Structure 1
Amino acid sequence: MHTIPFSKYESSREAHSNVSDALDGEDTNQVEKLEDEFKEYVGASYALATSHGTSALHLAMLALDLKRGDKVVCSVNAHPSVPEVVRHFDAEPVFIDIEDKTYNINLDKLENYLEDNKSKKLKAVIITHLGGVTVDLERVYSMAKIYDVKIVEDASDALGATYKGEKIGSTGADIVCFNFSPHLKKNICNGGMLVTDDDEIMERARLLANHAIVKDEDALEYIYDVVDIGNDYSISELNAAYIRAQVNEQDENIARQREIAKMYSSALDGVAHVTIPSMENEENPFSLYIIKIDKNRDSFAVELREEGIGSGLHYIPLHLLSYYKTKYSLRVNDFPVALRSYQQVLSLPLYASMSDEEVKSVIEKVKKIAKTRV
């Protein structure tokens, strides 16, 4: 049986060539090149490559000088890495329910929260662009000014995605964090990127990304001082070499992702028990293709797996996870939209290297299983 995994890493000639150059010692400036090319690609003033997407997010919290008792607002439908980086500072994540079509944070509920909880302790809002579908960022940035909070965008699924024609990373957030090995779609290489237009934020991030070590240019190279508490967030030259090709090919990959999404939608529209995503947003990069199954989603996924088709779930709402549920005494019904979506959503395989035959095979299996539902 031909299996179609949920995700597959793309490995091009360019990636092989870059990695070979680094291994052969011919080009060991891969990190610097990646940062320069990335700045140009997204249109940001500064870019800092990190070992993982989570490292970029953690470094963002360091750069914002997050402290014990501070609050950071985020969607309840996000990967555990989002509130996790907040808790590492003994700061408090605050969860907001989602919209039922995009599964992104509900901006009305976010605004209500900000209006009702004005406090110096409220430091930032982390906005996750689920599947690369952006929220109304103009509204978000306007809220940030009114309520004096920083905006950090979690662009794990949004590499190459755009908002009103501008690439995510250049639209006006304080910090945007990318992940080259997104959650549930693991790459062969790990890496993240922190981008900002704020020189003070970048200066602090660069300092803390290397143990807060400072050196005097005129001193011997082994003489250094440490001026703060940092960590090591550095990416390796080999990872950077591979990721440079990934960034270079991303626009092409997004075009193919959109083609696949159209194939899925035209074939699955109207299939009983299956709801397809909206195709109205022309800027959707379809990093994920999320359908809703109205009955027994888990058994549907099991049957897909038995047919050799992988699937994903984005995400288990944070308030259902033991740590957050217990820590903050959260109840199952506290976030009704996220709960309802969680019981139905399923992400189908979608990646640029999928062949038309593989897409048709997934469609065929989804239709076959849907027919057995009563």
Structure 2
Amino acid sequence: MKIPFNKYNSGREEHSNVADVLDAEDLNQVSKLEDEFVSYIGAGYALATSHGTSALHLAMLALDLKRGDKVVCSVNAHPSLPEVVRHFDAEPIFIDIEPLNYNINLDLLETYLEDNQSKKLKAVIVTHIGGLSVDLDRLYSIAKIYNVKIVEDASEALGATFNGVKIGSTGADITCFNFSSHLKKNVCNGGMLVTDDDEIMERARLLSNHAIERDEDALEYIYDVVDIGNNYSMSELDAAYIRAQIKKQDKNLARQKEIASMYSGSLEGTAHITLPDMSNKEHPFSLFIVKVDKNRDSFALELKKVGVECGLHYIPLHLLTYYKAKYSLKINNFPKALQSYQQILSIPIYSSMDDKDVKFVCDKIKQIAKTRV
């Protein structure tokens, strides 16, 4: 028996939507997805992109990021975050984490903003690890005080909520979603840029198609280019597939929460394993992150040998060769992220897991934990 870290799940509606595109019966899947996403999230505008990284890069374009500007993010994030900042020759600023949920530490963020007020400081990108958000009310308050834009990386937070409101409609300047996120690859690629700001969306739409403008009354091949953009467009096939997936998302999240509860109940008291806090009822458990108190990698290798694949979210950015060398970062610069990194392990959790799969994972974890000294 083998339990992959993630497994995509498609049904009749996905096949039907894709067939409609292939048969040229419905070639408006992207626009339909955008409209349906607005309704699902409750936001003002949604713009489909080719990937989640495309949405982040387009967000930086929409905010008019320039050379020498600064963007703050958690040191515990996917490399795509500082990567899109560096593409503008701007500087990513890393902040240590909250060790219980692995998200950016708001106390440290506020201290940094207070001590480093500058017109060059453009935005804060906040990643919701496992779909669990920071205190967004406090985050938005901090942003207003220090006049910075908030971009939320909601790669693992599709359908998640904060105080009952879906992520993407809680008050961020821009929220970026990823339909094929890190280690949870789908058969399609796609992202979504969401905002309530008219000007941001107008600029994002313009720049998402090479900054081309056309006169609606003129011939289609007549156009002008008014800025420097790129092509961030999602394919109709991807949109067709994703539309069907979105309709199942709330049901999928409910199942993930059930699995998380099963994991917590079964693994409680297991030697060498620390379980996530289950007290936040809004946690969507897009990831189920445990801590292994010693030899995390050997533990993961043993799990792999017995058929359980695992993930890691994430390697702290200051340990990666490029950023370590570029900004002369030291291994102990971010002690909380470093300590967590040495122990955290994401175990499989997705809606198509049945109870037998969950029991298998728990049995193997407990079996291997008994061999630890």
Structure-2-length-normalised TM-score: 1.00
Paired residue type of 2:359: K
2:355 maps to 356
Amino acid at match of 1:159: L
Q: One-letter code of the match for 1:296?
A: N
Cα distance per residue 1:185-228 (max 9 Å; x no partner)? 10100000000000000000000000000001111111000000
- Aligned-pair identity (%): 76
Letter in 1 for 2:14: A
Describe the SS at the equivalent of 2:126.
strand
Taking only aligned residues, the RMSD between alpha carbons, in angstroms, comes to 0.4
Per-residue deviation at 1:107?
0.2
Paired position in structure 1 for 2:228: 229
Q: What is the aligned length?
A: 373
Equivalent residue number for residue 284 of structure 1: 283
Show structure 2 runs of 5+ residues with no match.
none
Hey, what's the Cα distance between the residues in 2 that align with 1:165 and 1:13?
A: 31
Q: Tell me the distance in 2 between the aligned counterparts of 1:275 and 1:14.
A: 39
Deviation, structure 1 residue 12: 1.7
- In the alignment, what sits opposite 2:156? 157
Deviations 1:313-340 (A, max 9, x none): 0000000000000000000000000000
Kindly provide the CA deviation profile for residues 2-25 of structure 1, in whole angstroms up to 9, marking residues without a partner as x: 111000112121111111111111
Question: Does 2:192 match 1:220?
Answer: no
Q: How does 1:37-76 map to 2 (within 5 A)?
A: 37-76=36-75
Structure 2 residue matching 1:124: 3-state secondary structure? strand
**1:36-92 alpha-carbon deviations (Å, 9 max, x no partner):** 000000000100000000000000000000000000000000000000000000000
4+ residue runs over 6 A deviation: none
For 1:302 and 1:327, locate their aligned partners in 2 and report how far apart those are by CA, in whole Å. 32
Distance 2:68 2:268 in 1: 48
Please give the alpha-carbon distance, in whole angstroms, between the structure 2 residues aligned to 1:223 and 1:100.
55
In 2: Cα distance, 1:13 partner to 1:300 partner: 39
Deviation string for 1:99-120 (max 9, x for gaps)?
Answer: 1100000000000000000000
Task: Give, in angstroms, the shift of residue 306 of structure 1.
Answer: 0.3
**Distance in 2 separating the partners of 1:300 and 1:271:** 14
Alignment of 1:23-172 (within 5 A): 23-172=22-171
CA distance in 2, matches of 1:218, 1:301: 61
Corresponding residue of 1:325: 324
Matched residues in 2 for 1:218 and 1:7: separation? Answer: 48
Which shifted more, 190-199 or 10-19? 10-19
Amino acid of the structure 2 residue aligned with 1:295? K
Partner Cα separation in structure 2 for residue 341 and residue 12 of structure 1: 38
Q: Which amino acid aligns with 2:121?
A: L
Determine the C-alpha separation between the residues in 2 that align with 1:326 and 1:121: 22
Please give the secondary structure, in 1, of the residue aligned with 2:255.
helix
1:246 positional shift: 1.1
**Distance in 2 of aligned mates of 1:13 and 1:264:** 30
Q: In the alignment, what sits opposite 1:14?
A: 13
The 5-angstrom pairing of residues 307-346 of structure 1 reads: 307-346=306-345
Distance 2:183 2:152 in 1: 19
Distance, in Å, in 2 between the alignment partners of 1:341 and 1:46 is: 36
Structure 1 match to 2:302? 303
Deviation string, structure 1 residues 157-192 (Cα, Å, up to 9, x no partner): 000000000000000000000000011110100000
Larger mean Cα displacement after TM superposition, 186-195 or 6-15:
6-15
Structure 2 residue matching 1:333: 3-state secondary structure: coil
The separation in 2 between residues aligned to 1:196 and 1:208, in whole angstroms, is 15
CA distance in 2, matches of 1:120, 1:270: 50
- Please give the alpha-carbon distance, in whole angstroms, between the structure 1 residues aligned to 2:175 and 2:229: 20
Matching of residues 238-317 of structure 1 within 5 Å: 238-317=237-316
Aligned with 1:334: secondary structure? coil
